[in-house]
Amino acid sequence: MQLHHREQGQGTPLVVLHGLFGTLDNWQTLGRRWADAGHRVISVDLRNHGRSFHTPEHTYELMSQDVLALFDSLQLDPETTLLGHSMGGKVAMHFALHHPDRLARLIVIDIAPRASSMEHQDDIIEGLNAVPLAQLESRQQADEALAQHIRQPGVRQFLLKNLYRQEDNSFAWRQNLAALTSNMLAVGAEITAPQPFMKPALFIRGGKSDYITTEDKLYGIPPLFPNSQVETIVDAGHWVHAEKPDEVFGLVDAFAKS
């Protein structure tokens, strides 16, 4: 089973991994810009997301193996840059720590290697599971069901990008909601390794986000990524790339060409 992916542009590979409940579609606008700037951009749907395969298991070890299989299939050279946001950032960290010879540099967007209880996702999980797919007649009804659990319209619109009509015209989620619900603690797992990743690593954090704290910057990241730098984008939250695309474009383009 190979991960669904999409390629744009030519040049040195830049592999992009989305976050929890996301898809590669979330990165297409920035992907086009990076492709126009001279990168071979490979946007990926991780397992249990988008158009990639569904499995009951959802761990960073398995997701890293999925990415390794894609690297092998596409015959990506060691000059590849691997970028991941949130959950995808943890996949990228795990991959870099365990397969350091397969890439030249790492970019992690708004996530630290430490463990998370994932309690902040409880409302989203409850909301998604509360949507009555079998009775659903419109996306508006789905939004109304989500609104009982999730107040922010922007978060609901992000989640509703996963809703689609099947051939029989009924609605379904693209993500494997059952697997993600049962594996939420695994999504929050700490990223560890016996040896650090010695190559360059760029961490981009949102100034309004607490996913990378000052403590992470000083004590959590350096032991695993000693050749790392942390850049803060002021006035951005966790979805840094959506809120400040120009800043993210510039940081990633410059670092991937370094």
Residue with tokens 């992470």, as numbered in its chain: 216
Say if CB 179 and CB 20 are below 8 A apart. no
CA 119 to chain centroid, in Å, comes to 18
Does the active-site annotation cover 258?
no
132 phi/psi in degrees, rounded to 5: -80, 80
DSSP state of 219: I
Which is the catalytic residue, given 52, 86, 209, 228? 86
- pLDDT tens figures, 224-244: 999 999 999 999 999 999 999
- What's the token pair of residue 43? 């946007």
Does the active-site annotation cover 54?
no
Say if strands 171-173 and 163-165 run parallel, antiparallel, or are unpaired. antiparallel
Length of the chain: 258
According to the CATH classification, is domain 5-117+189-257 in 3.40.50.1820? Answer: yes
Averaged pLDDT of the chain: 97
Half-sphere exposure of 131 (CA within 13 A, CB side): 28
Q: Percentage of the chain surpassing pLDDT 70?
A: 100
Which is the catalytic residue, given 4, 49, 85, 238? 238
Q: Which residues contact 121 (CB under 8 A, 6 or more apart)?
A: 20, 184, 187
Q: Give the start-to-end residue ranges of the domains of the chain.
A: 5-117+189-257, 119-183
The pTM of this model reads 0.97
3-state secondary structure 176-194: CHHHHHHCHHHHCCCCCCC
What pLDDT was estimated at residue 190?
98
What pLDDT was estimated at residue 136?
94
DSSP state of 216: I
